[in-house]
């Protein structure tokens, strides 16, 4: 499925996507994706902009957000949303994750710790199709996924490039394609028992600054 997505040509109005090797290898690769004019252009981190195969521009960005192992060979990657600026070094963030003996770390959501509560907020605010969200969380509930099992603020994702993490990345992508584009709903379900939740932070802190999206 992933190969079919990446091999769609420019004739369909899509820019080609280059898997692995699209950026020089580094120890820590910081990257972002900005599509649909949601955030201002930036050149301080490696930023993807060209992919447009999906009608929803959010999925055009999330293919990079969720699948860094297809684009980078670096041992570690750090995803930052287009409205996030790091205030600490990438290496310091990796050390923070590694100190928790974790190959995947995110900051905890500042207001909630439950994907079901997050789904309810998304439905109430009209952030995605309520029917799709409802079907998704009903499935999680049938499978016995617990409430209050943690919720990440997925605007920063610190990840080690390992076989296990990469397979979970692809499972996460499958959930976002099958269910809601709101990836914070499916993150706890996919990475349960694997991701470490760092303490929640204010919008301006020693690790990063969070600004408002342009739209």
Looking at residue 105, which CATH number applies to its domain?
Answer: 3.90.550
pLDDT reported for residue 97: 93
Q: What are the phi and psi torsion angles at 134 (to 5°)?
A: -60, -45
- Give mean pLDDT, residues 188-211: 95
52-104 pLDDT, tens digit per residue, is 788 888 888 899 999 999 999 999 999 999 999 999 999 999 999 998 889 99
- Please, are residues 38 and 213 in contact by the beta-carbon 8 Å criterion? yes
What is the Cα–Cα distance from 210 to 80, expressed in whole angstroms?
A: 10
Identify whether 55 is part of a domain: yes
Residue 174 lies in a domain: yes
pTM of the model: 0.87
**pLDDT given for residue 159 in this prediction:** 97
Containing domain of residue 68, as a range? 2-210
Residue 29 within a domain: yes
Q: What is the pLDDT of residue 35?
A: 81
Give residue-wise pLDDT tens across range 145-172: 999 999 999 999 999 999 999 999 999 9
- Pick from 52, 48, 30: which is nearest to 39 by CA? 48
Query: What is the tally of structural domains in the chain?
Result: 1
* Residue 18 maps to a domain: yes
116-134 pLDDT tens trace = 999 999 999 999 999 999 9
Please report the pLDDT score of residue 25 as a whole number: 55
Structural domain includes residue 40? yes
Residue 84 lies in a domain: yes
Neighbouring residues of 98: CB distance < 8 A, sequence distance ≥ 6: none
Under 8 Å between Cβ of 187 and 195: yes
Q: Is residue 215 part of a domain?
A: no
């Amino acid at each position: 499925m992933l190969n079919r997505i990446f091999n769609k040509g420019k004739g369909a109005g899509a820019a080609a996507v280059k898997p692995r090797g699209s950026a020089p290898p580094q120890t820590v690769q910081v990257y972002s994706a900005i599509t649909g004019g949601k955030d201002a252009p930036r050149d301080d981190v490696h930023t993807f902009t060209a992919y447009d195969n999906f009608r929803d521009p959010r999925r055009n960005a999330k293919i990079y957000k969720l699948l860094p192992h297809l684009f980078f060979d670096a041992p570690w990657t750090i995803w930052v949303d287009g409205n996030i600026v790091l205030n600490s070094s990438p290496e310091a963030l990796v050390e923070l994750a590694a100190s928790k003996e974790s190959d995947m770390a995110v900051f905890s959501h500042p207001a909630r710790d439950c994907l079901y509560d997050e789904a309810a907020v998304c439905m109430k605010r009209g952030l995605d199709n309520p029917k799709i969200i409802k079907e998704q969380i009903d499935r999680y509930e049938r499978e016995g996924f617990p409430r209050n099992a943690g919720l990440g603020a997925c605007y920063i994702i610190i990840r080690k490039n390992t076989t296990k993490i990469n397979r979970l990345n692809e499972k996460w992508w499958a959930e976002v394609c099958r269910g809601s584009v709101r990836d914070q709903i499916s993150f706890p379900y996919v990475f349960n028992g694997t991701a470490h939740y760092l303490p929640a932070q204010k919008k301006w802190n020693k690790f990063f600054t969070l600004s408002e999206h342009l739209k």
